Amino acid sequence: MRNHPRDADLERHLDAWAASQAEVELSPEIQRNVQAILKRSLTPVKPLPSHGRLVLAFLAVFAVGAAGLIAIMNQAGAHLMTEAQIAGMVAILACGGILFSLLIAWQMVPGSRQGLPLSLVLALSGCGVFGGIAVLFPWRTSHAFVSEGWPCALMEVMIAVPAAAVFWLLARSGALFGGAGVGAALGGLAVVLALAVLQFQCMFQQAPHLLAWHGGTAAILIGLGALIGEVTPVYLRAGRYAGKAT
């Protein structure tokens, strides 16, 4: 950063500017006011569990939710898939679940070291799901592409929306300031859960159907999650102690 010959001059300007900012003094009245507000609602709080335990909590809900729904619903898709297809899709969706759980746990704690940026998690998950389907499933399509597809899309929405609500309830014990990032991460985890359930339930195990109706709906739902996260007012994103602070 400081290798350029003109940087010494720039550093001098920046240091002078930083020093001028340091002259700003806090009025005692403001300080007393802040102290009074905080002391008025001061109650002991239990610190959040470690990052690893948060991730495990999300993964446990994800696994129990997916396994429970697969067990309850019909498993026509499981009988139509080969062992390689089942193993491949389970591995891809499990990785997606782990990545989105990590992402949400990072977003719950301000100032956490972000191991992977959201864009990378979205890209990896997208490549995994779309690439996996394209490689593992046959490229056949039927004449009833639309009439076979929309019930799957509807089912995905019906699973993903309540799942996202459950994940949000878990995540809001943290401090969710992330906006679109949090919305996309919560939407991503819910969508991966819905994809896992649909994969075992769907009778149309062909690449065009899975890409368009399962993958396409997943992408739209994640985008919708990001949008909802962005427009959700701050007070809804605040943690469980929000009511006690003011």
* Residues within the interface to other proteins (CB under 8 A): 1, 4, 6-7, 9-10, 13-18, 20-22, 24-28, 30-31, 33-35, 37-39, 41-48, 50, 106-114, 117, 173-175, 177-178, 181, 234, 238-239, 241-242, 244-246
Q: Which is nearer to other proteins, 16 or 71 (CB)?
A: 16
Estimate to the nearest angstrom the gap between the alpha carbon of 183 and the chain centroid.
6
Helices (H), 118-179: 118-136, 145-171
Give least dist CB 44 to other proteins, A.
4
Residue 117 has a CB neighbour count (10 Å cut-off) of: 11
**Angle at CA 51, nearest 5°, toward 38 and 170?**
70
Q: Are 186 and 241 in contact (CB under 8 A)?
A: no
Nearer to other proteins, 30 or 84 (CB): 30
By beta-carbon proximity to other proteins, the closer residue of 140 and 244 is 244
* Residue 73: CB minimum distance to other proteins, A: 37
Nearer to other proteins, 150 or 241 (CB): 241
Question: What minimum distance in Å lies between the beta carbon of 215 and other proteins?
Answer: 28
CB of 12 to other proteins, least distance (A): 9
Q: Which is nearer to other proteins, 42 or 154 (CB)?
A: 42
Min dist. Cβ of residue 108 to other proteins (A): 7
As to burial, measured by CB atoms within 10 angstroms (0-12 exposed, 13-18 middle, 19+ buried), residue 80 is middle
CB of 169 to other proteins, least distance (A): 16
Using alpha carbons only, give the angle 194, 195, 199 rounded to the nearest 5 degrees: 120
Identify the CA nearest to 90 among candidates 212, 195, 245. 195
Q: Say if residues 226 and 187 touch (Cβ distance below 8 Å).
A: yes
Return the structure tokens found at 54: 């948060």
**Smallest distance from the beta carbon of 56 to other proteins, in angstroms?**
16
**What string of DSSP letters covers 44-56?**
--PPPPPHHHHHH
Closer residue to other proteins, CB minimum distance, 79 or 244:
244
d(CA 211, CA 203) in angstroms, rounded, equals 14
Residue 3 DSSP SS3: coil
182 or 192, CB closer to other proteins? Answer: 182
